[in-house]
């Protein structure tokens, strides 16, 4: 058992595990899947209602001490009921829309978890950079204190070095809080404890076009459901016909067939208004589908361009950090031989700390932009 616990503690959470777990426990994704199942059951109920409908009746009549049994079996089938057939088709379209909506909701949940995964990695990298900056500040403060004691620096330089150390310690404290918050958010999203987080995989591919949007599929299915509903409203003015077979159980081979036609018409206003309302709902779905297609196209273009720009910014931030680190190392070397002042090194130290923080944030922005582009493109995990 102890070995098992040690192995479990040593396991590092991967990105694929995070997104898979999010799809299983995210409340929105779970509810969306349950609604999809419910819509399928509703559609199945609509279709099964179109089949034969059996009914059984049994009665006993007692008169003057004598009893008589009367058992009968009746099977009816609606052969002409356009409204019910169209309602069943509409229910199937609604179920398909619910399925696509469930896929879209799950996709959103997975990309949200992926963003949190990268946020934890970035927060840990920011903490490492802050701790390194604090070590630089501590070394500078110690060197400056020694030079002040030897009379090579002013008291102002010593106070500035101590202030720089306090500021670096404050940055470290904030970075520790950022890590704790990022981890807590990931734990909440996955609904489980998260130990070590595996290093981020390579750069995600940037999509050039949509590969299949579940949001478009859901909107298209909703439009199909609206068309079925419109046809069903129009079909409400038509008569319905049925075939019924009756027989008493005592003489089961002797059947009586009944052909029936029913026509219910509630005036011109009822069917006309229902059909008109359904037609407006269909027009609404057409407009919403067109708007969604345009918005997703614009969103993908925007996200792709932002991702490319974020990559360039991250590249520049990386180069700026390298240059700042080199400048700081040169400044510390010059300080140790008395060719540079402590204030100059403090400025270089601040520049290096800011460059490291900017680089971490730029890398996170680049990954987030790529995730958004992939989400809009409908790329699944």
| pLDDT score of 2 more than 60 | no
DSSP state letter for 11: P
Highest mean pLDDT among 75-79, 86-90, 307-311: 307-311
Each residue of 54-78: pLDDT tens digit?
776 766 666 555 555 666 767 776 7
Domain 18-50+80-238+269-377, second-level architecture: Up-down Bundle (1.20)
Q: Where are the domains of the chain?
A: 18-50+80-238+269-377
Q: Is 26 helix (H, G, I), strand (E, B) or coil?
A: coil
Task: Give the pLDDT score at 60.
Answer: 63
- Considering the chain, what is the average pLDDT of its residues? 83
pLDDT band at 9 (very low <50, low <70, confident <90, very high): very low
| Mean pLDDT to the nearest integer, 340-350 | 81
Pairwise CA distance, residues 299 & 375, whole Å: 10
| pLDDT score of 201 more than 60 | yes
Each residue of 248-294: pLDDT tens digit?
766 556 767 677 777 766 665 667 777 888 888 889 989 989 998 89
| pLDDT score of 239 more than 90 | no
Inter-residue contact 260 to 242 (CB < 8 Å): yes
pTM: 0.77
- Which long-range contacts does 177-184 make (Cβ < 8 Å, 24+ apart)? 178/123, 178/126, 178/127, 179/120, 179/123, 179/124, 179/126, 179/127, 181/123, 182/116, 182/119, 182/120, 182/122, 182/123, 183/120, 183/123
Inter-residue contact 278 to 230 (CB < 8 Å): yes
Q: Which residues of 197-222 are buried (b: 16+ CB within 10 A; e: fewer)?
A: beebeeebeebeebeebbbbbbbbbb
- β-strand pairing of 240-248 with 53-63: unpaired
Task: Give the pLDDT score at 140.
Answer: 84
pLDDT band at 7 (very low <50, low <70, confident <90, very high): very low
Each residue of 19-54: pLDDT tens digit?
999 999 999 999 999 999 999 998 888 887 776 777
Pairwise CA distance, residues 374 & 368, whole Å: 10
pLDDT band at 4 (very low <50, low <70, confident <90, very high): very low
Task: Give the pLDDT score at 6.
Answer: 36
Specify the residue for token string 């009665």.
59
Inter-residue contact 312 to 216 (CB < 8 Å): no
């Amino acid at each position: 058992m102890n070995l098992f616990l040690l192995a479990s503690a040593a396991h590092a959470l991967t990105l694929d595990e995070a997104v898979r777990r999010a799809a299983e426990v995210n409340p929105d994704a779970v509810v969306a899947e349950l609604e999809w199942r419910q819509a399928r059951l509703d559609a199945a109920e609509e279709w099964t209602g179109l089949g034969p409908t059996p009914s059984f009746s049994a009665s006993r009549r007692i008169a003057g001490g004598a009893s008589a049994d009367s058992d009968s079996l009746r099977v009816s089938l609606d052969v002409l009921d356009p409204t019910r057939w169209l309602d069943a088709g509409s229910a199937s379209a609604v179920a398909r829309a619910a399925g696509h909506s469930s896929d879209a909701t799950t996709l959103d949940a997975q990309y949200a978890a992926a963003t949190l995964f990268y946020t934890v990695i970035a927060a840990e990298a920011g903490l490492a950079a802050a701790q390194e900056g604090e070590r630089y500040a501590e070394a500078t403060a110690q060197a400056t204190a020694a030079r002040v004691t030897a009379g090579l620096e002013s008291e102002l330089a010593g106070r500035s070095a101590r202030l720089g150390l306090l500021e670096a310690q404050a940055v470290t404290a904030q970075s520790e809080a950022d890590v704790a918050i990022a981890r807590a958010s990931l734990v909440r999203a996955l609904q489980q404890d998260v130990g070590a987080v595996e290093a981020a995989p390579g750069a995600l591919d940037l999509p050039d076009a949509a590969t299949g949007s579940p949001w478009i599929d859901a909107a298209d299915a909703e439009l199909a459901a609206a068309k079925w509903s419109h046809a069903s409203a129009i079909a409400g003015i038509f008569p319905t016909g049925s075939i019924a077979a009756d027989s008493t159980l005592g003489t089961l081979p002797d059947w009586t067939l009944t052909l029936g036609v029913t026509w219910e018409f509630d005036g011109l206003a009822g069917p006309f208004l229902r059909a008109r309302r359904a037609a407006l709902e269909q027009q609404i779905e057409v407009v919403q589908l067109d708007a969604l297609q345009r918005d997703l196209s614009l969103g993908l273009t925007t996200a792709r361009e932002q991702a490319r720009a974020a990559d360039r910014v991250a590249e520049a931030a990386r180069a700026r950090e390298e240059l700042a680190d080199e400048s700081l190392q040169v400044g510390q070397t010059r300080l140790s031989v008395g060719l540079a002042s402590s204030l100059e090194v403090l400025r270089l130290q601040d520049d290096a700390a800011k460059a490291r923080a900017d680089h971490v944030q730029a890398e996170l922005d680049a990954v987030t932009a790529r995730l958004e582009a992939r989400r809009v493109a409908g790329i699944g995990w």
